Amino acid sequence: MPDMKLTLNNEVVIQKSELDALLAAVRQQGYQTVGPVIKHEVLQYGPIEGISDLPQGYTSVQDAGSYRIKNTGHSRYFDITPGARTWKEYIYPPRKRLFTLSKENRHWERVKIEEEIPKYALVGVRPCELQAIGVLDAVLVRKDFTDPDYFARRSRLFILAVDCLHPGDTCFCASMGSGPEAGEGYDLKLTELDDCFLIRIGSDIGLAVMQELNWEPATAFCQQAAQRGLEHAARSMGRHIRDIESVPDAILDNLEHPHWIEVSARCMSCGNCTFVCPTCFCWDAVDEVSVTIKETSRYRVWDSCFNLAYSAQAGGNTRPSTKSRYRQWLSHKFGNWQKQFNVLGCVGCGRCITWCPAGIDVTEEVKVFQEVSS
Amino acid sequence: MANKKSKKPTIAVYKFSSCDGCQLGILNLEDELLDLVGVVEIAHFLEARRQVLPGPYDIGLVEGSVSTPEEVQRIKEIRHSCGILIALGTCATAGGVQGLRNFEDLEELINIVYEHPEFIDSLPNSTRVADHVKVDYELWGCPVNKYQVVEALVAILQNRRPNLPQYSLCLECKRLGNPCVTVAYGMPCLGPIVRAGCGALCPSNGRGCYGCFGPMDTAEVDAFIPVLKSHQRYPGEAVRLLRTISGYAPAFVDAAELILAQEEE
């Protein structure tokens, strides 16, 4: 090990094989390591032990409404961009019990639930996904409100971010300012070069992990190679939104534009876009009451603004048509979200484009509103 | 709810044209069944209990489609003798798989199938219960999700609205983390216009949905047709999928007819 004291924000390099030791050191800190794995011919997230679990050689071919993985035999481990699943499920599970009540002698008592909040180390969090976790933080951890379950899970996360050197066909993080270089909020950040990993230390736990490893100081050559890779990545996004600052007004000034009718004719109101979105957080409370009415549990489940019941209320439904529901989705992501949470709801990951069975492309829809308002 | 304060609410289960699978769903409840008979009186359920208590009943569950003139009379009588009527399963809510005949020449079919066609007295179509009488709740599925049966009964006993999903199967699939069979594998799947509730059984096993739970209330047929057609693996697959299980549900009838009309052009 070189005669250099590691500190925060240091950049060092490790051999690729050293990633096994890195993951072991992370587990030593009490984390379960989860990362990208190929399962059922798509990229998913799941438990990983070491570098051999990673999707080396894989890439994906994505377009509006279409996804296929491809093994090109390249040597890189972190090249394949995300599939439908998001890290959201680790910090904001699709279904989560909030409480259980039990009836004893005509009196309802809260049943104590022993629940250990897992400590996850998310391995291979891409810049858009890191930004998405930041967006969820802005929504769920606020001065006026904090979601206790989200906060507990979130504060136990270890994040190993990965710079994105080969963006996918539906990616547009460069337009959203969330990539291809990972922003803040990681414990460690990795850039995959041809023969080594360049690592940047972002937190004290990240520092403690790196002190266990065989590392070398990053050379200027490595840093320049990473920089060149990122510049190339920024130019190779599959999708674009120009002038993102103009988008919120372009949409919010045109809420009655006939284009909403045009796009809603293609929208099935199925809600896939909202469930693959790494920042969508809407939920429903579902009560499950036992047959004997002696016990009842309330669950928080992911819900969607495309679900008619989501906007049902006494006196009628505020969003009865697909047009009004699609308008809610797009105008929230790219407009009202900013007013509410001071950040846009879209991070440019492209999932809603790829996983919309009807192939609706938000970058194209946004463009229409930019054109009509310019 | 009960007829008299001391009595438990009574339940009657009836069979029409069906395979009995939904009634079996009730019997398969196992854990919940004992609790259920503790809070309700199963007054008429020929598949489960020989004894029949006299009506009228508080809740009637009707399995099967109405497909003969005799059944038309019987469903009207049952409607009169049940306070709340629940259509149980896709035969009762959409005519069921036997609704396949609704798209064929009935007389021709009868002549092919039966040695003595003169004994057959059948309606022109296999129809849903709601075509004949007012239905208070519809529980879809082929078979029904037994937990939805419990939820509907418990909700009625508690005088609240049952919690039954009205959204697309896609949402159920995504909550389970399933890969989308249409987007990732190019398979046709009715999921985007089908009501959730089955637990995404088929897509969880790598198959497209064929619509047991019927069209959701907000089924966007016009938007869905191009998606379905572009994923057909052989000519005619889209229409077959739509017409297999819930084919006589109005939204699926419309979708299939639209596709056939487009193909003729």
Token digits for B165? Answer: 């999903």
Task: Tell me the C-alpha to C-alpha distance, in Å, between residue B54 and each of B43, B84, B85.
Answer: 7, 16, 17
pLDDT for A374 equals: 83
Q: Are A159 and A187 spatial neighbours (Cβ–Cβ below 8 Å)?
A: yes
Residue type (1 letter), B157? L
Cα(first)–Cα(last) distance of chain A, in Å?
58
Backbone angles phi, psi at B166, to 5 degrees: -115, 0
Residues 6+ apart with CB under 8 A from A55: A36, A37, A38, A43, A77, A79, A80
Interface with chain A: mutation pick from B156, B171, B194, highest number of A CBs within 10 Å: B171
Among B154, B175, B227, beta carbon nearest to A357: B227
Q: Are B80 and B25 spatial neighbours (Cβ–Cβ below 8 Å)?
A: no
- Name residue, tokens 């519809």: B138
Token digits for A281? Answer: 């957080």
Q: How far apart are CA A81 and CA A168, in angstroms?
A: 6
Confidence band, pLDDT 50/70/90 cuts, at residue B2: very low
- Name residue, tokens 């938007």: B223
Among A41, A84, A271, beta carbon nearest to B168: A271
ipTM value: 0.95
Contacts of A355 in chain B (CB under 8 A): 180, 183
Among chain A residues, CA nearest to B206 = A40
Q: How far apart are CA A180 and CA A88, in angstroms?
A: 20
Average pLDDT over residues B161-169: 94
Cβ-count burial A77-95 (b if 16+ within 10 Å, e if not):
bbbbbbbbbbbbbbbbbbe
Among B36, B167, B182, beta carbon nearest to A357: B182
Contacts of B167 in chain A (CB under 8 A): 271, 304, 306-309
Q: How far apart are CA B42 and CA B27, in angstroms?
A: 12
With an 8 Å Cβ cutoff, are A67 and B183 in contact? yes
Residues 6+ apart with CB under 8 A from A245: none
pLDDT tens-digit readout, B12-46 = 999 999 999 999 999 999 889 999 999 999 999 99
Q: Between chain A and chain B, how many beta carbons pairs sit less than 8 Å apart?
A: 128
Among A302, A306, A355, beta carbon nearest to B180: A355
pLDDT tens-digit readout, B176-233 = 999 999 999 999 999 999 999 999 999 999 999 999 999 999 999 999 999 999 999 9
Among chain B residues, CA nearest to A95 = B175
Among chain B residues, CA nearest to A312 = B166
Residue type (1 letter), A99? F
Enumerate the H helices of A48-202 as residue ranges.
88-91, 127-140, 148-155, 173-176
pLDDT tens-digit readout, A79-131 = 999 999 999 999 999 999 999 999 988 899 999 988 899 999 999 999 999 99
Instruction: Name the minimum distance, in Å, from the CA of B232 to any CA of chain A.
Output: 14
pLDDT for B265 equals: 82
- CA Rg value for chain A: 22
Q: Are B191 and B227 spatial neighbours (Cβ–Cβ below 8 Å)?
A: no
Q: What is the mean pLDDT of chain A?
A: 96
pLDDT for A211 equals: 95
With an 8 Å Cβ cutoff, are B183 and A290 in contact? no
Q: How far apart are CA A126 and CA B251, in angstroms?
A: 42
Share of chain A above pLDDT 70, in %: 99
Residue B4 has pLDDT above 90, yes or no: no
CA atoms within 13 A on the CB side of A266: 15
Contacts of B166 in chain A (CB under 8 A): 307-309
Helix (H) or strand (E) holding A159: strand A158-162
Q: How far apart are CA A274 and CA A343, in angstroms?
A: 18
Contacts of A307 in chain B (CB under 8 A): 166-167, 171
Domain ranges of chain A: 11-95+111-235, 244-281+305-373
With an 8 Å Cβ cutoff, are B175 and A94 in contact? yes
pLDDT tens-digit readout, B77-119 = 999 999 999 999 999 999 999 999 999 999 999 999 999 999 9
Among chain A residues, CA nearest to B220 = A268
Using beta carbons and an 8 Å cutoff, which residues of A are at the interface with B?
40-42, 44, 65-68, 83-85, 89, 94-95, 265-272, 275-276, 286-287, 289-293, 301-302, 304, 306-309, 322, 354-355, 357-359
Q: How many CB atoms lie within 10 A of CB B173?
A: 26
With an 8 Å Cβ cutoff, are B206 and A357 in contact? no
Among B39, B167, B180, beta carbon nearest to A271: B167
pLDDT profile of chain A (374 residues), mean per 10: 80 97 97 98 97 97 98 94 97 97 93 93 98 98 95 98 97 97 97 96 97 95 96 97 96 97 98 98 94 93 96 94 97 96 97 98 98 92
Instruction: Name the minimum distance, in Å, from the CA of A288 to any CA of chain B.
Output: 8
- The residues that bridge with B168 in the sheet, in sequence order, are B195
With an 8 Å Cβ cutoff, are B179 and A68 in contact? no
Edge-to-edge strand order for the sheet containing A216-217?
A: A42-47, A32-39, A120-125, A158-162, A188-192, A196-201, A11-15, A216-217
Contacts of A304 in chain B (CB under 8 A): 167, 171
pLDDT for A3 equals: 63
Instruction: Name the minimum distance, in Å, from the CA of B154 to any CA of chain A.
Output: 6
How does DSSP classify residue A112? P
Q: How many CB atoms lie within 10 A of CB A164?
A: 30
With an 8 Å Cβ cutoff, are A287 and B185 in contact? no
pLDDT for B7 equals: 82
With an 8 Å Cβ cutoff, are B179 and A41 in contact? yes
Instruction: Name the minimum distance, in Å, from the CA of A108 to any CA of chain B.
Output: 16
- Maximal CA-CA distance, chain B: 66
Enumerate the H helices of B30-129 as residue ranges.
31-39, 69-81, 90-94, 106-113
Q: How far apart are CA A269 and CA B218, in angstroms?
A: 7
Among A66, A287, A309, beta carbon nearest to B167: A309
Among chain B residues, CA nearest to A45 = B177
With an 8 Å Cβ cutoff, are B168 and A268 in contact? yes
Question: Cα A44 vs. chain centroid, distance in angstroms?
Answer: 12
If we measure between CA atoms, which residue out of B125, B101, B96, B100 comes closest to residue B111? B101
Pairing of strands A312-313, B82-88: unpaired
Domains of chain B: 10-157 (3.40.50.700), 169-264 (no CATH)
Among B177, B186, B223, beta carbon nearest to A358: B223
Instruction: Name the minimum distance, in Å, from the CA of B244 to any CA of chain A.
Output: 21
Task: Tell me the C-alpha to C-alpha distance, in Å, between residue A30 and each of A20, A130, A162, A291, B258.
Answer: 16, 21, 21, 41, 58
Token digits for A64? Answer: 């509006």
With an 8 Å Cβ cutoff, are B179 and A42 in contact? yes
pLDDT for A292 equals: 87
Instruction: Name the minimum distance, in Å, from the CA of B48 to any CA of chain A.
Output: 19
Among B174, B186, B223, beta carbon nearest to A266: B223
pLDDT for B30 equals: 85
